[in-house]
Amino acid sequence: MQTQTLGNIDIDRQRVDHDLATTDGFNFAEQYGEFQSGLPWKSCMLWSVGGEVGDGVIAHYDRTLPCVPTEYGTQLDYLNELITRSFNTEHMLFARLVLMTDNVLIPHRDFVEFVEDPIEARAAHRFHIPLATDETCLFMDDRTIYRMPVGQVWSLDVTHLHSAAVLSDTRRYHLILDFADAPSQDDLFAFPASPSGGIPAENIVERPEITEDEREALHNLSGVLSMDTLSQVAGIVVRTEYRKDGGEDFSWRTITEIARRGGDTEVIDHLAKLREHCTLRRGE
């Protein structure tokens, strides 16, 4: 599994906008606050195992049940059509509409909470279909920054450190689909997929290297770091990584160094637990 494009699907702008307007009356769940710095990352469950909207935390659903549309999904004719004509829903576990604006996600790994699940119930593939986006909407795979245009279908290796950012007040909407494993990844698609074998060069955002003065300026945030400001300080660091190349594992290394210099043992201990939660193991 690797982060790559799978192809393109036609998007009817008028019908997408109609469905997105319909969701204004939906209750979008706000989860995973520990991963974020900014306005809430929101999701709405359109298909789920068991058909319940639920709380949106995928570890909280019974993944032995069949995946069917929720009460929200049944109201979105075009997005349902997009899902069923593009994917084999027999293997699907979840389909979420995700809204993100003026926010960055701390680099993290996903699916770490499912390693002991039976294969047929284990989330193994994550696909993104951008529906509304612009140039301020960015993604990170390890240290590579890239963009996903509307209509491209992406497969993400979420076992890598990854992140997302919207560096403006743009309302970015994506369909995010999670699938159980199948004998072949081709069994998951109903469109002519053509995997790119990695992140295409034309999608990659080139960044200048961070200077030592800029790195030291970030480290000096230790003077204001506390449990009250940790989310904001982490957000500054992650936003910086989207604009400057600081090397491997830049955000976590930098946040950890800021905490070390600050010397607040409560912050240091909390950050160590947060890093383990985000990157190594996660309880339900």
**What pLDDT is stored for residue 122 in this prediction?**
56
Domain co-membership, 158 together with 262: no
Domain co-membership, 33 together with 162: yes
**What pLDDT is stored for residue 115 in this prediction?**
47
**What pLDDT is stored for residue 284 in this prediction?**
44
Measured CA to CA, the distance from residue 49 to residue 93 in angstroms comes to 6
Measured CA to CA, the distance from residue 284 to residue 275 in angstroms comes to 16
How far, in Å, are 142, 209, 211, 249, 275 from residue 253 at the CA level? 13, 16, 16, 6, 10
Domain co-membership, 14 together with 128: yes
- pTM (two decimals): 0.91
Residues of the chain with pLDDT under 50: 112-115, 119-121, 282-284
Contacts of 51 (CB under 8 A, 6+ apart): 65, 68, 69, 70
The residue range of the domain holding 230 is 212-279
DSSP string, 46-96: EEEETS--TTS-GGGS-TTSPEEE-TTGGG-HHHHHHHHHHB-GGGEEEEE
Q: Please say which residue of 142, 174, 203 terminates a domain.
A: 203
- The answer to whether 32 and 41 are in contact (CB under 8 A) is yes
The domain total for the chain is 2
Tally Cβ neighbours within 10 Å of residue 212.
Answer: 8
- The answer to whether 132 and 148 are in contact (CB under 8 A) is no
What 3-state DSSP class applies to 162? Answer: strand
Radius of gyration of the chain (CA): 19
**CATH classification of the domain holding 46:** 2.60.120.330
